[in-house]
Structure formats: C-alpha cells, structure tokens
Amino acid sequence: MSRYLNILDKIDLFGVQISLLTNKNNPTFQSKIGGVISFFLSIISFSYLIFVLVMWINNEIPPNISSKQQTKGYGEFQWSEPLIQITLQDFTTDIDPFRKENNIITPLLFKLDNFRVQEEPIILYSEEYDYSSLFVNNGSLILNNAYQQDENHKTMKEYLLVLSICKNSSLKNGSYCADQEIINEYLSKHHGFLILTIRLNQFNYINQKLENFVKQYYQSFDPRKSSYSQVMLKQQETIIDDGILFKNEKYYNFLNNYELINQEVSSEFMPDTVAFISNGNYHLNISSSYLFRIDNISIKEEITMPKLGQVLAQIGSIVQLIFLLKYVAIYYNNKLLENQLFHDIISMYYPEFKNIKINIFNKFEFKEDFNQFQLPIQNLQLIYVTLLKRAKEKCRLNNILYEISRIQFILEQQFGNRILQNSHQLGKKFSKNISEIVSEKIPESNRLVIWPADQIQQEQEQDLIFKEPIELLIKQE
C-alpha cells in the first residue's frame, strides 16, 4: 500500500520549493531600489490596464473588419424619409420650373413592376421652402432577376422619374401650366446643372449606429436636348458581433453608394419607351429621365468587436514587455545580495570592517570617520577588493565542502572515528520546564549525547571498520 502512496508523491504537480531564509528571515532578498522599480512598473501596468479597458468599453479599440463584394439576384430596400433629391441650379433665370402653379416642367415618378407601368405616376412639385427641388420621400425598390414570384420573392420594382414639358392634361389637384410663350422662352435656353443628391449611410462601429452622408452628381440641364440616366443604388450588409465573450450578431442593411450612368438619347427615345411600358396611356415630351434601381453587386461587411479574452491578452503581452525591466531589479538585487554576503564573510574574519556600508548604488563606502586602520582610503579600498575576491572563492560550493572535510579530519584525528560515528545519535533531551524552553538564555550543557558512547553495539563497531571517512558523517535515514 505504501508503494502506491509513494507513487502519488511523484505525480504531485503542486510541489513547492524549499526556500532558504536570508539574513532577515525572509525567503526572498529584497531592496529599496527593487521596491521603487516594482512600484513604478505596477503603476504603469495598472494604468495601461485601465486605459485599455476604458477604450474597450467605449469601442475605441479597432475591431477586426472583413469586407467582400458579392453578387445577388434578389434584394429589397425601403425608406420612409427623403432619400432622393434633384435640385436645379439655374444660372440664367430665377424661375422655378417645377412649381405647382405656372408649371413649365412636370416631374412624373412612374413605379415600374417588371418594366411595366401599373399605376398612375406621382407628380413631384417643388415646395416654396425648397426652391427648384424635387424629393422622393418614401418608397421601395426590389431587385429580382433570378427568382419567380412567390411568397418569399416579389417582382422587380424600379422607379422612373421623367421631366416632361408641361401639359394641362397630365396635371391634377389645381395645378396648371404656364403660358406657352413663357414655356417656349424657358425651353430655348441652357439653364445650368441638375444636382442629383442621394442620402447614403455608413456604419460607425464606435457608437454602433448608422451615420448619414450625401453623395452628389452634377449634370448639365438643357431642355433642348434629351438625356437618360440610370442610377444604380448599391446596398451593404453589415454584420457586427459585439459579444463580450460569445457571439452576439446584429444585422444592418443600408445604401452605401450609388453609380450614375448618363447618356444622351434622341428626343423620341424616352417618350416612346414610356408609351410602350404604359400600353399607350402616356404620350409625353420628355427632356431628362432617371431610372432608379438596385444594383446586383453589393458589399458584405463583417465586424468583430474585440472580445474580453483578446483585450486581456493584449494587456498581458504589453505588461510582459513592461516587466522586462524587472530583470534590472533582479540583477541589482543579486549583486546587492552577493556584496552583503561577501561583506558579512569578511566581517566574520575581520570585525573591523563592519563599519563599511553599501550605498544605494551597490558600492562600498569608505568614510574617514570610521577609518580605524589609519590607512589611506585608496590602500584600504585595494585591500578590501582583495578580500572580496577571497570571500567569493570561499563561497564556492566545492570550497565549503572542502572546509567541512578538513574539519572532519581534524575531529577524526583528535577524537577518532567512533566519536564521529556516534555523532549521529547526538541531541538534547526535551525539558518539561516551560520557562527554560521559552527563555532566550542558553543553558549550560557539556553533554548532548542521548545514547552514551559505551553503549555502542558490537555490530556498529564492526561496521565502523569498513567505512571510509567520506561515509562517516552522511545523514542516516
């Protein structure tokens, strides 16, 4: 049974080292310089810990971001606030051609389902506080060029915005056209730029919200020429994982960009196109047109916020670099311990050197006030350096063993092998007097032998004959 218990001793993973105490009864040697270095390293490390944790809490540590471009055959996008704006920057006149009364150019917004007009167009008039500006305030677009219509997939939906020369037959709700002379005069001139503005979004991982920005294109506006523009709205899907330890994914879909393709067409192209897709219901005189649709090329972005383990690993690696300075303190403490040990050895043999002190720079100080040798300081330093070299040699393990062996031979020569062999039985008898145990006084005793020498058995004497000197004082189990 004891054999198996001994095996348990060998597989113990939590064994502790036996530390030898220093001259201050501490298992480790410590110094003031080491304490100062430890204090500053701890303060720096703790400050860095707090700094990184605050940055982590405020999402200021850069996350891992991966982005890829992908194509898709189906997509939807809806909005309920002003998204698309077209503004006329006119350099020749102050007339607003898009106004409801005295209208010159009528903006008509067609909803296309599979390239067909199924509803009446929406007339977009400019407002008094938004001079010469058109807004598409709400709506929805659908991309579907890969699936048939079912419960999960709707038909393709696009918007066609045309700027048509005003006709009273196409106006509603009290709107009316300007005089034909005013219209003809307005159409005979070049007026400036049409500014297409679309409000887009970008994801801010710090506050984890969508931020708005606008992107604009400037196009020439000349009612005497016809132009067709295709606006490709690009979507982005952002997946953010902001879990502290485990995944916690959130999804965001938004418009992040758009592309404008512009081309000049004949004056009959867009009127004929509108007439065809509306089954001949609309015959218009169109100068400019915009087709808004979702692009089938989108961006997928994955954002992984730093986890707690990653943050702690970062802190730990930096703290380890900071604590490389600990080797300076370790080196200092080692040298200080050596110097104090060697100084104690020299003082054992030459008590006059006890007055020599070690300063904070780990150097020996020789002061004239304590110079008992009546020697110049330089000579005294030279003598002390020589003694230090001898003290270092004396502290070598083989020298210590050598001195012990010499002492053993001297004792053996004076008292014989039997006394040395009998020393294994030496000890002091236990005293029942508490005051004697607690007292710091050392009682006089001339005999510490528990087993007297004359009681040595014959077998021990026989064994003594065959023992070599190196075996005599080996500790017996």
Residue 158, SS3 per DSSP: strand
Number of helices and strands in the chain (H, E): 12, 17
Rounded distance between C-alpha atoms, residue 109 and residue 159, angstroms: 7
Please identify which residue in the block is written with the tokens 């058109």: 134
- Give 335-344 pLDDT, tens digit per residue: 777 777 788 8
pLDDT score of 453: 44
* Average pLDDT of the chain, as a whole number: 79
Mean pLDDT computed over 227-245 = 91
Structure tokens at 68: 């890829």
The residue among 350, 360, 359 whose CA lies nearest residue 380 is: 350
160 has pLDDT over 80: yes
pLDDT score of 58: 87
- Minimum mean pLDDT among 3-17, 140-154, 201-215: which range? 3-17
Q: Give the model's confidence band at 238: pLDDT under 50 very low, under 70 low, under 90 confident, else very high.
A: very high
- Give 272-326 pLDDT, tens digit per residue: 988 888 887 888 888 899 999 999 999 999 999 888 888 888 888 888 777 777 7
Rounded distance between C-alpha atoms, residue 306 and residue 466, angstroms: 74
pLDDT score of 475: 47
- Minimum mean pLDDT among 146-160, 240-254, 451-465: which range? 451-465
8 A C-beta contact, residue 381 and residue 368 = no
24 has pLDDT over 90: no
Count the Cβ atoms, other than its own, within 10 Å of residue 477.
Answer: 3
pLDDT score of 299: 92
Max distance between CA atoms of the chain, in angstroms, equals: 148
Bridge partners of 204, per DSSP, are 209
Rounded distance between C-alpha atoms, residue 223 and residue 126, angstroms: 18
- Give 26-39 pLDDT, tens digit per residue: 556 566 777 777 78
44 has pLDDT over 70: yes
Residue 153, exposed/middle/buried by CB under 10 A (0-12, 13-18, 19+)? middle
8 A C-beta contact, residue 77 and residue 201 = no
User: What percent of the chain is modeled with pLDDT above 70?
Assistant: 78
pLDDT score of 216: 94
pLDDT score of 410: 86
- Give 211-225 pLDDT, tens digit per residue: 999 999 999 888 888
Q: Regarding predicted confidence, which is higher, 360 or 94? A: 94
- Give 387-445 pLDDT, tens digit per residue: 788 888 877 878 888 888 888 888 888 887 777 777 777 776 665 555 555 555 555 55
